[in-house]
Amino acid sequence: MRQREDFLPLTPADVRARGWAEVDFVYVTGDAYVDHPSFGVSIISRVLEAEGFRVAILSQPDYKSAEAFRRFGRPRLGFLVSSGNIDSMVAHYTVSKKRRSYDYYSPGGKMGNRPDRAVIVYCNRIREAYGDVPIVIGGLEASLRRFAHYDYWEDRVRRSILVDSRADLLAYGMGENILVRIARLLDRGVPIKKIRDVRGTVWLARRGEAVHFEAIENGDFDELKSDKRAYARAFAVQYKNTDSVRGRAIIEYYGDKMLVQNPPMPPLTREELDRVYSLPYARDYHPDYEPLGGVPAITEVKFSITHNRGCFGACNFCAIAFHQGREVRSRSRESVLAEARLISELPDFKGYINDVGGPTANFREPACEKQCRDGVCPSKKCLAPTPCKNLRVDHTEYAEILSEIEKIPRVKRVFVRSGVRFDYLMLDENEDFFRQLVTHHVSGQLKVAPEHCSAGALAMMGKPSIEVFEAFKRRFFEISREAGLEQYLVPYLMSSHPGTTMKDAVDMALWLKKWGYSPEQVQDFYPTPGTISTVMYYTGIHPMTGKEVYVTTDYREKQLQRALLQFSRPENANLVREALKLAGREDLIGNSPDCLVRAAFGKDGHGEYRKDGKRKNTAKGKSGGSAAAGKKRGTAHRAPLPRAKSAPAKRKKR
């Protein structure tokens, strides 16, 4: 366990131990303090420290009063505020809006250490404590809510988080250069209300105030909250201006005020990224959390390496394009190897690098030369529905980096777990990396994201056709067999995405049955701010085309679609029957091998079967009992189809 002095100050005593009379910034976060480059708070605070600024961390403060926000006194330059690594509402609620019971970013996984809508609550408490002190908000929660946005949890359009939080500036996207620029201006004595020309920021002013960049108007909040077509059009404008080359300033009106988003800050260069990841991170959670059980979120990332940023895959349900952008940048080979060597020297390192990845593990460079010169295409995707003819496909450097890491003393294996873009991989005419990935960097299972099989659903998701995944799957298993390895694919699957009908869900069930795969987990579409899919969910309109889209919002229909994707589970039998009847596919109910579920029996049509095929009496109190009773006796049904296995790969002796 690292010592206190390896971390930035977490208490006033830590500040005094450093000999500081005051701090320049207090960074308020909704997460426990983990000083690792997978955590945005740690990156920004270390970058500011490297620039000579004194930063203290106010982690998960008691938000019920302003007192906790006075812990370090009034900072010389201001407060920085973030909800943490993820949106506080997503951290607290499932897609069915039920309260979660575990928080990976809190000590011991305990829930309740941060409020709902943490950024707003924290800022309002800071205002209570210090009035007009400068406040800059950032991180995922602020970045994705920077404009008027649909809020799934309240089922309405909310104002920009900058308006509701009463902060002075919002830093969106990846914030290193943005925050350094703001910090330097504040240090020079520039009032925060005068900081209006920093790229990557959003600010609020009176209507008519001068804007420093070419700007386009995005509409008035009163219209956006009531007119769904206007809302969809506004999001399309925002999405097309997330590129640092093409992007223009965007103005959104709130009564007599205007919200201005300056154009994006250019992504970090390779040299800048290398510098960020070379900073002296403690690479662990703060020792104060040890008696509380540690911070669970460190487990997956402690021995992992992030080698890239941005994603030109741009799936419609993913917010990366709206936050990190579609311009891929990566670290140098030397930087990645240096971090691997550092990890290998940690006292609790067991020889395994868990991941060398990022938003998409196998992206290293911008999609094409044109993108470097002119920016990303505002109305085209690089990979879907078909690959762009200008797309560059090359895995050479990434493959070499993985191989060189495995040569480092104490490193036994290097895995790729953050996910590869299989359609990009299949475009590579050189199969060397594919073979290397399958034979050296898969720990028994490889996670992939076909998401669905229906052409209509995949088109709405911005994903390639299922034929591409089928070709990948076939070749993956061929290479595994040739190498004498027993390995498995674990597909991410999504139900109820906009554009997905009950017929599509039936097609998905038939596809899974043909594969012989019964998924342990299926993700219902979760409408979160900053995605094309969320706009479709709220408006029923595809914002990039203006065309109407079928949307599943009824809770029962969502249940039925999800049940179809897990049709082999006995507890889903009645839901599957109901779904098949609604879809007009009663031919799939019965005892033939082609059917998805057996026919029900009994007067009420809800009789069930045991695993051995015999009828089960489900009457309350009778022998056989309820499914719940069966679980208590340890005799609950298991799915008849094979589930995803987690056995380690069986390897030939070499």
DSSP category for residue 597: B
pLDDT value for 647:
41
pLDDT > 70? residue 634:
no
Top pLDDT among 240 and 634 is at 240
Tell me if 474 is assigned to some domain. Answer: yes
Per residue in 340-369, pLDDT tens? Answer: 999 999 999 999 999 999 999 999 999 999
pLDDT value for 614:
56
Tell me if 427 is assigned to some domain. Answer: no
pLDDT value for 637:
30
Top pLDDT among 605 and 442 is at 442
pLDDT > 70? residue 640:
no
Tell me if 250 is assigned to some domain. Answer: no
Number of domains in the chain: 2
Domain termination site, one of 168, 184, 201: 201
Tell me if 399 is assigned to some domain. Answer: no
- Assign 619 a pLDDT band (cuts: 50, 70, 90): very low
> Mean pLDDT lowest for which of 125-129, 202-206, 504-508, 650-654?
650-654
Tell me if 296 is assigned to some domain. Answer: no
pLDDT > 70? residue 10:
yes
Rounded to whole angstroms, how far apart are CA atoms 577 and 567? 9
Please report, rounded to a whole number, the percentage of residues in the chain having pLDDT higher than 90. Answer: 88
pLDDT value for 379:
85
Domain termination site, one of 154, 171, 201: 201
Element (H, E) at 100: none
pLDDT value for 291:
96
CA distances from 521 to 200, 544, 577 (A): 37, 31, 20
Parent domain of 16: 4-201
**Number of other CB atoms surrounding residue 433 within 10 Å:** 20
Q: Tokens 């201005």, residue? A: 260
pLDDT value for 1:
64
pLDDT value for 604:
52
**Which residue stretches of 131-269 are H helix?**
139-144, 161-165, 176-187, 221-224, 228-239
Per residue in 536-555, pLDDT tens? Answer: 999 999 999 999 999 999 99
- Assign 648 a pLDDT band (cuts: 50, 70, 90): very low
- Assign 331 a pLDDT band (cuts: 50, 70, 90): very high
Per residue in 41-62, pLDDT tens? Answer: 999 999 999 999 999 999 999 9
Per residue in 568-618, pLDDT tens? Answer: 999 999 999 999 999 999 999 999 999 999 998 765 555 665 544 455 554
Rounded to whole angstroms, how far apart are CA atoms 466 and 426? 13
**Overall average pLDDT of the 252-272 stretch:** 97
pLDDT value for 610:
55
Domain termination site, one of 201, 222, 247: 201
- Assign 521 a pLDDT band (cuts: 50, 70, 90): confident
pLDDT > 90? residue 631:
no
**Burial category of 386 from C-beta neighbours within 10 Å (exposed 0-12, middle 13-18, buried 19 and up):** exposed
**Overall average pLDDT of the 121-128 stretch:** 98
What is the SS3 assignment for 222?
helix
**Overall average pLDDT of the 19-25 stretch:** 97
Q: What backbone torsions phi and psi does residue 350 show, to the nearest 5 degrees?
A: -105, 5
Tell me if 408 is assigned to some domain. Answer: no
Return the closest-CA partner of residue 103 out of 118, 120, 123, 81.
Answer: 118
Tell me if 12 is assigned to some domain. Answer: yes
Per residue in 99-115, pLDDT tens? Answer: 999 999 999 999 999 99
Tell me if 424 is assigned to some domain. Answer: no
CATH code for the domain of 130: 3.40.50.2300
CATH code for the domain of 483: 3.30.750.200
pLDDT > 70? residue 36:
yes
Per residue in 468-482, pLDDT tens? Answer: 999 999 999 999 999
Rounded to whole angstroms, how far apart are CA atoms 143 and 529? 9
